[in-house]
Amino acid sequence: MSRPGAATGRRRPIRPEWPVTGALLLLLVVANGGLASLLQGTTWWWLMALVSGTVLLGLAGLRRVGIAESLTSVAGFGILLATVTLLFGGGTGLLWLIPSPETIDRFGTLVDSGLESIRQQGTPADPVPGILLLLSAGAGVIAVMMHLLAITLRVPALAGLPALVPVAVPGLIVDGGADPLALSLTAISFLILLRVDVRVRRAWEVENPPAGPNTPRVYGPVRRRGPGPLWGSMVVGSIGVVGALLLSIATPAVPGGGFAGTRGVGMLLFARGVTPLINLGQDLRQTQSSPALHYRTTASQPPYLKLLTLDNFVGVTWMARVEPTDPDSNVEAIALPQGLSSNVATRETKTQIVIDSVATRWLPTPFAPKKVTGLVGDWYWDRSTSTIASANSITRGQQYTVTALELAPTAEQLRAAGTRYPASIRRTLDLPGNRPAIIDQTARNVTSGAISPYDAAVALQDYLRGSEFSYDTDAPVAEGYDGGGVDVVGKFLAVKRGYCVHFASAMAVMARSIGIPARIAIGYLPGSRSTSYIEGRDRFNVDAHDLHAWPELYFGGIGWVAFEPTPGRGTVPAYTRATDAQAPLGSLVTGLPSAAPRRADPGGGNPSLGLRAATTQTGDVDGARTVSAALAAVLILLMLPGGARALRRQGRRRRVRAGPGAAGWAWDELADTAVDHGTRVRDTETPRELVARLELLPGLDSPPAGDPVDALRRLLVAAERHRFGRPGADMPGEVSAGLAADLDQVTRAIHAGASWPVRIRAIVLPASLRRPSKVARNESLPVDA
């Protein structure tokens, strides 16, 4: 008798690896689209799709040429490494594909910048190269996991779990839960995967049964109790998708992130951090605020409290530069600010600060700190930015005293400053090449009559504070240019309406365009004076509405100098007004107190910093890391039992096909399959008694039941021959292969005949893991007493 499907003119089915791989790729690229709410543009999606497709199609090709199943996952990671080396290695890899030591260093730099961008950027984030590398690597890892589950272990229902990661994560970060459209499309793709696996794999197995005895076998349909393949697929997919949706809705959005955490980012690709500039408008539009800190000071004027400095462009977005921590730069002895000479008048001050609710790894201090005492944890200073940060501590609950220098440069000193800058300063002249032309043109027009960099800086400040510009928190959102990148600055200079981030960024970018080193400082305004008066000093209260952004420009022999281009907030620095050339720097903060009306007060400029979330009572990034770790642990725990059972099943099948002890391994797998599907297997019963009970199971007890029942009886005969036969007699290879086919047919019939809850439990929580393998333990079945 000819094999099924061998009739002339009947098309033979295609191998299952290719259609299942296509269904996996469809599921993964659709699931990756769930990250759209976190990222700008679509470049990241195409890149993730390219990496996912390369990994999955490469693995399918390797399987087609006969690679061992045990090596597929290793090969998948090799393909992933070669792909990211080609895309992100910058030509440093051998043959552009094999990573070299230089490639590893480049990857480390990109990963560091990507993690820092994740902490600083908000949503939607600019997908800078470091983030693209992390996304591509993550997509490749998920692709390898999905291939392992769906094709190598043949449990496609579990392959949907890794795909839920990019769909569910946005629901934990942005308000409103996961995107219902993304979940729906992912569910459809998941059902397609299950259906393709059932139809294509079965058709292939029917047409290509394993080599066995000469007796022909026909794979007939088996009557099932409960849902069939299509309905079972729909039920499994619905459970997973509804579970992800409910989880994303029930779990509160992860707070904190950008400035409220340590170096780690946990398991989540994105914490709910915000860029120091991107969400300022959201904070300004908040009617409620909370106390941030309070302080007392000996300074002649209450100081600005600086947190961090943005001096680096990643793409078109301002970022804080990532610098390695120097363990020797402790806060008990801080060097003078970069570029400061002894010709500039200074005065030592002491400021006692108590943190109320701010939780950030950057320490609020007056500019030019010399020493900080009373801190808990490890804190380090950065001479280039005059900021203090910690790698393992946050500010909440800290009480400390800052000894600082109050600087008082004069207009004459600033005008006489040189323009020869050291290399560390010249890098603060960098600008994105694709910036809007209006930036350079406006800067040249405004500073055309300036005779020095100082006069040009004053001209820029006066222009932005002039009558052409107005403070507005709503216009940037309404017209789509919120934030502080160079693209936003171009739109702001055309519209001439914005808030402190727009003014600070515009002045810094225009200053760089005409050759003046510039950066943006983020911190707090002096706050409001309270009625408390202790030890001869006033108490100043600072709340979240006092967050502010201002530009700092560099002048040789003086160093970094603050300017105030935002109209209506405080007064301009004294050294920018000829009539007050000798006034101390502190006079720049003598403007409106923080008690002024918030909506009309530009100084309420809250650059978000991640501090809006940081001043809440949540656990900030610690909470994000906890949630991430918990989700990862749940995912791993869900996958472990089914994965362990699948590995045991595959190992036994290989031993059955190998020949030696085949009957014992086949019987052990048959017994475990029965246990997984709710049939009790007693140690005291004989194989013949167990077969008599198995023949009554759905899928084996109803016509046409001849094939699975006959296969079951052949397994019984082989097991009894193995038990009572002459020791050491190995089974012929052809008989062993037939035994493997019989085992597959019986186990499929048992699984198909069970109800869908039992089938799901058998895959996810197999009960046989609690039952030791007799063959693995004794190398043969025990002889009945």
- Each residue of 642-657: pLDDT tens digit? 888 888 888 888 888 8
Q: pLDDT digit string (tens) for 34-91?
A: 888 777 778 888 999 999 999 999 988 888 777 777 788 888 899 999 999 999 888 8
Pairing verdict, β 470-471 and 497-498: parallel
Residue 509 pLDDT level (bands cut at 50, 70, 90):
very high
- Mark whether 540 and 684 lie in a shared domain: no
Q: Do 360 and 383 lie in a common domain?
A: yes
25 falls within a domain: yes
Indicate whether 402 and 417 sit together in one domain. Answer: no
Same structural domain, 658 and 763: yes
Out of 208, 226, 257, a domain closes at 208
Q: Indicate the residue among 570, 596, 614 that finishes a domain.
A: 614
Both tokens assigned to 287: 């009617």
- Please choose, from the candidates 360, 242, 778, 300, the residue with its C-alpha nearest in 3D space to the C-alpha of residue 607: 360
Q: Tell me the residue range of the domain where 651 lies.
A: 641-778
> Which of these, 734, 719, 717, lies nearest to 780 by C-alpha position?
719
pLDDT tens by residue, 429-460: 999 888 899 999 999 999 998 999 999 999 99
455 and 560 inside one domain: yes
Residue 217, in any domain of the structure: no
Give residue 241's pLDDT: 53
Task: Give the pLDDT confidence score for residue 459 in this predicted structure.
Answer: 94
**713, 566: one domain:** no
The neighbouring-strand residues paired with 560 are 554
What integer is the mean pLDDT of 749-762? 84
Task: Give CA separation, 428 vs 64, 102, 277, 319, in Å.
Answer: 54, 26, 18, 12
* Neighbour-count burial for 571-581, b at 16+ CB within 10 Å, e otherwise: ebbbbbeeebb
- Quick check: is 381 in a domain? yes
* Same-domain status, 657 and 531: no
* Tally of structural domains, the chain: 4
**pLDDT tens figures, 327-341:** 677 888 888 888 888
Give domain status of residue 265, yes or no.
no
Residue 215 falls within a domain, yes or no?
A: no
Please name which of 176, 182, 248, 135 lies closest in space to residue 34, comparing C-alpha atoms. Answer: 182
Same domain, 419 and 385: no
With contact defined as beta carbons under 8 Å apart, do 774 and 668 qualify? yes
Say whether both 390 and 424 belong to one domain. no
665 lies in the same domain as 739 = yes
- The pLDDT of residue 166 is 85
Query: Which residue pairs from 240-245 have beta carbons closer than 8 angstroms and sit at least 24 positions apart in sequence?
Result: 240/160, 240/161, 240/164, 240/187, 240/190, 241/183, 241/184, 241/186, 241/187, 241/190, 244/164, 244/167, 244/168, 244/171, 244/178, 244/183, 245/171, 245/177, 245/178, 245/180, 245/183
Q: Cis check for the bond before 704: say yes or no (omega within 30 of 0).
A: yes
Whether 665 maps to a domain, the answer reads: yes
Q: What percent of the chain has pLDDT over 70?
A: 70
pLDDT one-digit tens code per residue, 268-304:
223 333 345 545 555 556 667 778 899 999 988 889 9
Q: Where is mean pLDDT largest: 109-123, 254-268, 428-442?
A: 428-442
Question: What's the CATH number where 663 sits?
Answer: 1.20.120
Please state, rounded to an integer, the average pLDDT across all residues of the chain: 75
> CA–CA separation, 300 vs 406, rounded Å?
9
**Domain assignment of residue 352, yes or no:** yes
Q: Of 583 and 436, which is predicted with more confidence? A: 436
